[in-house]
Amino acid sequence: MSVTHPAGFRASGVVAGLKSTGARDLALVVNDGPSKAAAAVFTSNRAKANPVLWSEKVIEDGRIDAVILNSGGANCFTGAFGFQTTHATAEAVADALGVAAGDVLVCSTGLIGVGDQSFRDAILDNVPPAVAALSGERDGGADAALAIMTTDSKPKESTIESRAGWSIGGMAKGAGMLAPGLATMLVVITTDADLDAATLDRALRAATRVTFDRVDSDGCMSTNDTVTLMASGASGVAADEAEFTTALTALCLDLATQLQRDAEGASHDIAIEVVNAASEDDAVVVGRAVSRSNLLKAAIFGNDPNWGRVLAALGTTDAEFDPYRIDVSMNGVMVCREGEPGDDRELVDLTPRATSILIDLKSGDATATIYTNDLTHDYVYENSAYAS
Q: What are phi and psi of 379, to 5 degrees?
A: -60, -45
Number of C-beta neighbours around residue 352 at 10 A: 11
Instruction: Give me the residues paired with residue 42 across strands.
Output: 226
Kindly list the strands in the beta sheet with 156-161, ordered across the sheet, starting from the edge strand earlier in the chain: 37-42, 226-231, 186-191, 167-173, 156-161
Q: Which residue in the list 43, 89, 184, 199 is annotated as catalytic?
A: 184
Calpha distance 241→246 (Å, rounded): 9
Q: Indicate the annotated binding residues for substrate.
A: 150, 173, 184, 264, 383, 388
**Rounded CA Rg of the chain:** 22
Q: Indicate the annotated binding residues.
A: 150, 173, 184, 264, 383, 388
**Helix axes of 117-132 and 79-97: crossing angle, nearest 10 degrees:** 20
Q: 33 near 8, Cβ under 8 Å?
A: yes
Angle in degrees, CA 116, 117, 120, rounded to 5? 90
Q: Decide if 246 is catalytic.
A: no
Q: What are phi and psi of 157, to 5 degrees?
A: -140, 155
**38 three-class SS:** strand
Say which residues have a Cβ less than 8 Å from residue 293's Cβ, sequence separation at least 6. Answer: 309, 310, 312, 313
Calpha distance 11→138 (Å, rounded): 10
Number of C-beta neighbours around residue 71 at 10 A: 27
Catalytic residue numbers?
A: 184
